[in-house]
Amino acid sequence: MEKQVVRVGLMGLGTVGTGVVRLVKEHQEDLFNQTGLGIEIHKILVQNKTKPRGISDTYEDIAGIITDEPDDLLKNPEVDVIVEVMGGINPTKEYLLTALEQGKNVVTANKDLMALHGGEILRKATENSCDVFYEASVAGGIPILRALVEGFSSDRITKMMGIVNGTTNYILTKMSQEGADYADVLKEAQALGYAETDPTSDVEGLDAARKMAILSTLGFRMPMNLDEVNVKGISSVSKEDIAYGKKLGYEVKLLGIARCDDGEVEVSVQPTMVHKSHALSSINGVFNAVYVYGEAVGETMFYGPGAGELPTATAVVSDLVTTVKNMKLGVSGRGMVAPYKEKRLKPDSKKYSKIFLRLIAADKRGVLAQITQLMADKNISLDQVLQQPFGTSGQAEIIMVTHLAAKSDVDEVMMLLRDLDIIHEIKSCYRVEGGE
Range in 142-146, 317-321, 367-371, 396-400 with the lowest mean pLDDT: 142-146
What is the crossing angle of helices 239-247 and 166-178, to 10°?
A: 70
pLDDT value, residue 336: 64
Question: In angstroms, what CA-CA distances link 415 with 150, 303, 352, 408?
Answer: 45, 39, 18, 11
pLDDT band at 1 (very low <50, low <70, confident <90, very high): very low
SS3 of 265, please? strand
The domain defined by 5-141+309-329 folds into Rossmann fold (3.40.50)
Residue 153 has pLDDT above 50, yes or no: yes
State the burial class of residue 36 (Cβ atoms within 10 Å of its Cβ: 0-12, 13-18, 19+): exposed
Q: For the chain, where do the domains classified as CATH 3.30.70.260 start and end?
A: 351-433
pLDDT value, residue 2: 61
At 84-111, the pLDDT tens digits run 999 999 999 999 999 999 999 999 999 9
Q: Which residues contact 373 (CB under 8 A, 6 or more apart)?
A: none
How far apart CA 409 and CA 133 sit, in angstroms, is 41
Mean pLDDT of 235-254: 96
At 159-181, the pLDDT tens digits run 999 999 999 999 999 999 999 99
Q: Which of 3.40.50.1970, 3.40.50.970, 3.30.70.260, 3.50.50.60 would CATH assign to domain 351-433?
A: 3.30.70.260
Amino acid in position 359: L
Q: Which of 121, 159, 164 is nearest to 141 (CA)?
A: 164
Q: For the chain, where do the domains classified as CATH 3.30.360.10 start and end?
A: 146-304
Amino acid in position 167: T
Q: Which residues pair with 138 in a beta bridge?
A: none
The continuous run of DSSP H or E covering 382 comes out as strand 382-390
> What letter would DSSP give residue 283?
-
Residue 194 has pLDDT above 70, yes or no: yes
Q: Most distant CA pair in the chain: distance in Å?
A: 89
How far apart CA 334 and CA 312 sit, in angstroms, is 25
At 331-344, the pLDDT tens digits run 988 766 667 888 99
Question: In angstroms, what CA-CA distances link 411 with 196, 268, 318, 404, 405?
Answer: 33, 16, 45, 14, 10
> What letter would DSSP give residue 306?
-
Q: Which residues contact 189 (CB under 8 A, 6 or more apart)?
A: 167, 170, 171, 174, 195, 199
Q: For the chain, where do the domains classified as CATH 3.40.50.720 start and end?
A: 5-141+309-329
Does residue 264 contact residue 205 with C-beta atoms inside 8 Å? no
What is the crossing angle of helices 28-35 and 15-26, to 10°?
A: 80
Mean pLDDT of 185-213: 93
How far apart CA 15 and CA 312 sit, in angstroms, is 9
pLDDT value, residue 357: 97
How far apart CA 208 and CA 379 sit, in angstroms, is 32
Task: Output the CATH code of domain 146-304.
Answer: 3.30.360.10
Amino acid in position 412: E
- Where would I find the H helices in 205-268? 206-220, 239-247
SS3 of 182, please? helix
- Where would I find the H helices in 75-230? 92-101, 111-127, 136-139, 144-146, 166-178, 182-192, 200-203, 206-220
Mean pLDDT of 312-326: 93
pLDDT value, residue 29: 94
Active-site option among 124, 211, 253, 351: 211
Mean pLDDT of 50-71: 86
SS3 of 166, please? helix
211 is catalytic: yes
Range in 247-251, 285-289, 426-430 with the lowest mean pLDDT: 285-289
Mean pLDDT rounded to a whole number for the chain = 92
